[in-house]
């Protein structure tokens, strides 16, 4: 079928003129007011046309009849009268079926004469008897959407109608299958499938929903008020950041399985800075995930933990009084803590720590036991601390100081500057050799943690008495990042980490450079030769 702008034909113009209907008087133009104000309008869906609109419709249809010659029908959609002109909108039909996108608007002056028209009518010639069953068309569309039925108890809304679909070449008889999903996940969409009613193929598709990236105000527990990336879908904001890989944050509502429910909000202001709002912990987790994304991207050019835009899910309010936070291979999970050992475990260093477990899994793959496990933990502490530092607020070398023992000030889960202050070794000679904690992964991490601290800040190891000249945390982080992502392998031990970090320092700053020598000295000071 060839498409003719305004020129295609309408030999049969069936016009449905209805008498009486809704008329809205929206005020007249006053002195000095801008022109173009709507005076009154009529919508066919509301009933019969009032007198003022009937004449305009008749004139418009006659105008189209005089211009067009092919077989088609026109039905009035609406008439709007403003202080400049009256505008009649006519929809195109073919043998009673809507022609998708076929519509013309005729503009009449205050005397009722046609000024101009615009729009698209299509030349159509086809058999309107479908060969494909409507249920088959629906099945085809549903299979393409691939939405698990009744996900989380939610059933998509599905509707179908037979239409004439203008297409290049010739018009097509098609089922328009609308599948509307608004479940708060990124599956949210209004899928519009056009399934060819003769051969069952997909003739056309689009998603009729507009999602808008937004910036919300988050009132966090530990980071004050922060900007957070949110997603506006059909008037509702979601805690989903499409500018950072689509990362999203869900409320587990004390459950321990499933993905939880994506946080949503009506005014894009989230949380209250207190645990009184379930959103507050969600803000911290979402902000932590965003800062971690930004840190790896702006520092190392890495888009997400896999370098390929990995979509991070952060789950908060996991379980009841759960004193833990973990990476499970695909998402970050945070408990609320019992209120005495931990408050909600969503501080920035912990978020950076958890997400870095994901990065380690996708790079060196360090096995979570014994020395490789302690290295795994240490890289999470190192980059968790770097993420916290990147926020510009807190540059400490403590881990979890904001969430640990709210009744005791000044302590932390671990210390990189002085591991012994949290009961952890700072030197290989005093490493833990037992079997608890997977062979001391959260204990012996103190040794490489302290290597990083001495390399970054300089200082003296308390056990060996050896001193290191610091090179700054930016260079130290670059060396350790390269160590993790380029050189280490699943069973690497501390000695392998020393060798790999020296290779990294040589790559970045040159063998024998101050940075290279400081790296060697930091490991030596901590007893790893
Ligand atoms: O160490 C951190 O998080 C954890 C907590 C609080 C408990 C158990 C394990 C972990 C972990 O290693 O992620 C920050
Ligand atoms: Zn960890
Ligand atoms: Ca910290
Ligand atoms: Ca404390």
Q: Using one digit for the tens of pLDDT, what is the confidence trace for 349-367? A: 999 999 999 999 999 999 9
Q: Which atom of ligand 1 is closest in space to residue 399's alpha carbon?
A: 14
Mutating to test ligand 1, I would choose from 442, 443, 446, 449 the residue with most ligand atoms within 8 A of its C-beta, which is 442
Tell me the whole-structure pTM to 2 decimals: 0.69
Give residue-wise pLDDT tens across range 326-346: 999 889 999 999 999 999 999
Rounded CA separation 360/373 (Å): 11
- Rounded mean pLDDT, 247-270: 97
Tell whether ligand 1 has an atom less than 6 A from the beta carbon of residue 325. Answer: yes
Mutating to test ligand 1, I would choose from 350, 385, 445 the residue with most ligand atoms within 8 A of its C-beta, which is 350
Q: What average pLDDT does the structure give for the chain?
A: 90
- pLDDT given for residue 406 in this prediction: 98
Q: Which ligand is closest in space to the CA of residue 349?
A: 3
Mutating to test ligand 1, I would choose from 292, 316, 324, 357 the residue with most ligand atoms within 8 A of its C-beta, which is 324
Give residue-wise pLDDT tens across range 446-469: 999 999 999 999 999 999 999 999
Tell whether ligand 1 has an atom less than 6 A from the beta carbon of residue 353. Answer: yes
Tell whether ligand 1 has an atom less than 6 A from the beta carbon of residue 354. Answer: yes
Tell whether ligand 1 has an atom less than 6 A from the beta carbon of residue 135. Answer: no
- Name the residue among 103, 72, 108 with its Cα closest to residue 90: 103
SS3 70: coil
- pLDDT given for residue 8 in this prediction: 32
Considering the chain, what percentage of its residues have pLDDT values greater than 70?
90
> In whole angstroms, what separates CA 480 from the centre of its chain?
30
Tell whether ligand 1 has an atom less than 6 A from the beta carbon of residue 437. Answer: no
| CB count in 10 Å sphere of residue 236 | 14
Least confident of 28-42, 210-224, 247-261: 28-42
Rounded CA separation 56/79 (Å): 8
Give residue-wise pLDDT tens across range 147-181: 765 455 567 889 999 999 998 878 999 999 999 87
- pLDDT given for residue 414 in this prediction: 98
Strand partners, 461: none
Using the predicted structure, report yes or no on whether residue 183 has a pLDDT greater than 70. Answer: no
Considering the chain, what percentage of its residues have pLDDT values greater than 90?
75
Rounded CA separation 280/355 (Å): 19
Give residue-wise pLDDT tens across range 297-337: 999 999 999 999 999 999 999 999 999 999 998 899 999 99
Tell whether ligand 1 has an atom less than 6 A from the beta carbon of residue 324. Answer: yes
* Residue found under tokens 């302690």: 374
Higher pLDDT pick, 340 / 118:
340
Catalytic residues: 354, 442
Band of residue 38 on the pLDDT scale cut at 50, 70, 90: confident
Rounded CA separation 171/90 (Å): 20
Rounded CA separation 231/213 (Å): 5
Higher pLDDT pick, 253 / 330:
253
Rounded CA separation 433/422 (Å): 18
CB burial of 251-280 (b: ≥16 within 10 Å; e: otherwise) equals bbeeeeeebbebbbbeebebbebebeeebb
Kindly give the pairing relationship between strand 269-270 and strand 211-219.
parallel
């Amino acid at each position: 079928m060839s498409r003719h702008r305004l020129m295609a034909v309408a030999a049969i113009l069936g016009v449905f003129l209805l008498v009486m209907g809704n008329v809205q008087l929206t005020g007249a133009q006053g002195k000095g007011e801008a022109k173009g104000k709507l005076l009154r309008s009529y919508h066919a869906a509301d009933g019969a046309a009032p007198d003022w609109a009937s004449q305009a419709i008749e004139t418009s249809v006659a105008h189209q009849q005089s211009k067009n010659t092919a077989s088609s029908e026109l039905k009035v959609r609406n008439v709007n009268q403003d202080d400049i002109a009256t505008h009649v909108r006519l929809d195109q039909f073919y043998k009673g079926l809507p022609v998708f996108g076929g519509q013309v608007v005729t503009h009449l002056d205050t005397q009722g004469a046609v000024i101009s028209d615009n729009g698209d009518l299509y030349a159509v010639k086809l058999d309107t008897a479908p060969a494909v069953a409507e249920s088959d068309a629906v099945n085809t569309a549903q299979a393409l959407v691939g939405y698990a039925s009744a996900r989380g108890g939610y059933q998509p809304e599905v509707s179908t109608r037979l239409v004439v679909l203008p297409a290049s070449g010739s018009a097509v008889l098609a089922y328009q299958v609308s599948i509307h999903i608004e479940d708060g996940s990124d599956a949210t969409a209004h899928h519009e499938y056009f399934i060819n009613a003769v051969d069952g193929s997909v003739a056309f598709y689009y998603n009729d929903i507009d999602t808008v990236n937004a910036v919300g105000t988050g009132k966090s527990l530990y980071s004050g008020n922060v900007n957070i990336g949110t997603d506006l879908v059909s008037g509702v904001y979601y805690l989903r950041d499409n500018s950072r890989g689509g990362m999203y944050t869900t409320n587990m509502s004390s459950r321990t399985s499933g993905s939880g429910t994506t946080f949503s909000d009506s005014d894009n202001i989230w949380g209250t800075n207190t645990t009184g709002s379930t959103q507050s912990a969600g803000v911290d987790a979402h902000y932590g995930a965003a800062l971690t994304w930004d840190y790896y991207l702006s520092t190392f050019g890495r888009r997400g933990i896999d370098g390929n835009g990995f979509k991070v899910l952060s789950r908060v309010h996991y379980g009841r009084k759960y004193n833990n936070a973990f990476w499970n291979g695909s998402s970050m999970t945070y408990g609320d803590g019992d209120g005495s050992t931990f408050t909600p475990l969503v501080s920035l260093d912990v978020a950076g720590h958890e997400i870095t477990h994901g990065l380690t899994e996708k790079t060196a793959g360090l096995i979570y036991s014994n020395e490789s496990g302690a290295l795994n933990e240490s890289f999470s502490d190192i980059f968790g601390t770097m993420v916290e530092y990147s926020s510009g607020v807190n540059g400490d070398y403590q881990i979890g100081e904001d969430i640990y023992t709210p009744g005791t000030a000044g302590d932390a889960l671990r210390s990189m500057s002085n591991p012994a202050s949290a009961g952890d070794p700072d030197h290989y000679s005093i490493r833990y050799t037992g079997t608890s904690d997977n062979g001391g992964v959260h204990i012996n991490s103190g040794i490489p943690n302290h290597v990083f601290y001495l390399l970054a800040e300089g200082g003296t190891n308390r056990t060996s008495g050896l001193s290191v000249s610091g090179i700054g945390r930016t260079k130290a982080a670059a060396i350790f990042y390269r160590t993790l992502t380029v050189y280490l392998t699943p069973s690497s031990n501390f000695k392998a980490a020393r060798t790999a970090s020296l290779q990294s320092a040589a790559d970045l700053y040159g063998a024998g450079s101050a940075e290279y020598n400081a790296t060697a000295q930091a490991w030596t000071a901590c007893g790893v030769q």
